[in-house]
Amino acid sequence: MSDQQACGLKQVATVFVPVADQERALRFYVDALGFEKRVDFVYGGGVRWVEVAPPGSTFALALVPPGEGQLAPSNVTRCAFVTDDADATHALLRAAGARVDLIVGRSGSSRPGLLSTTVAIADPQPAQFCFCDPDGNRFLAVEPPS
């Protein structure tokens, strides 16, 4: 068995994002962030499954409703997005009404931690910032080094 096929898993497909209101979340991701709605159907006795993704992305976010009696949005960052221009994306997200870090973190500055917002990360590299959806789910936007 080759190392690449050791367990049969090939790629990341979907990241689950818990949301209290799928319609509100769908509007945010499609209208404010410019994502595509890729999937929207009902299964299992009335459970709605919605997936969104940046245009051209190979992975998607599943906007999942409260399940098993509890909703658990989190300010812990569990997903990162790539951007060609962190400053421009930061400005666009702010203009669209998204909650974003005050500044883009880079050498000579700091940003809140990914797993704990009470921690400050000094001199983050490359340029990066966090933003939140309406449920408080936190994401990282990163501009890869050129």
Q: pLDDT tier at 117 (50, 70, 90 boundaries)?
A: confident
Burial bucket for residue 57 (CB in 10 Å: 0-12, 13-18, 19+): middle
pLDDT at 124 over 70: yes
pLDDT at 1: 47
Burial bucket for residue 36 (CB in 10 Å: 0-12, 13-18, 19+): middle
CATH code of the domain occupying 12-68: 3.10.180.10
pLDDT at 55: 96
Both structure tokens of 25: 């979340």
Which residues pair with residue 141 across a beta bridge?
A: 81, 129
Domain boundaries, the chain: 12-68, 73-146
- Sequence-distant (6+) residues with CB within 8 A of 75 are 117, 132, 136, 137, 138
Residue-wise pLDDT for 8-32, tens only, equals 777 778 998 989 899 999 999 999 9
Residue-wise pLDDT for 50-80, tens only, equals 999 999 999 999 998 877 555 566 667 778 9
Q: Which residue has the tokens 């599943």?
A: 62
Supply the mean pLDDT for the chain.
87
- Sequence-distant (6+) residues with CB within 8 A of 94 are 100
CATH fourth-level superfamily of 73-146: 2,3-Dihydroxybiphenyl 1,2-Dioxygenase, domain 1 (3.10.180.10)
What is the mean pLDDT of the segment spanning 22-43?
A: 95
Residue type present at position 62: A
Residue 80 φ then ψ, to 5°: -120, 145
CA distances from 76 to 32, 46, 114 (A): 21, 29, 6
pTM: 0.84
Q: pLDDT tier at 45 (50, 70, 90 boundaries)?
A: confident
Fold match flag (12-68 vs 73-146): yes
73 vs 135, residue with greater confidence: 135
Does residue 49 contact residue 25 with C-beta atoms inside 8 Å? no
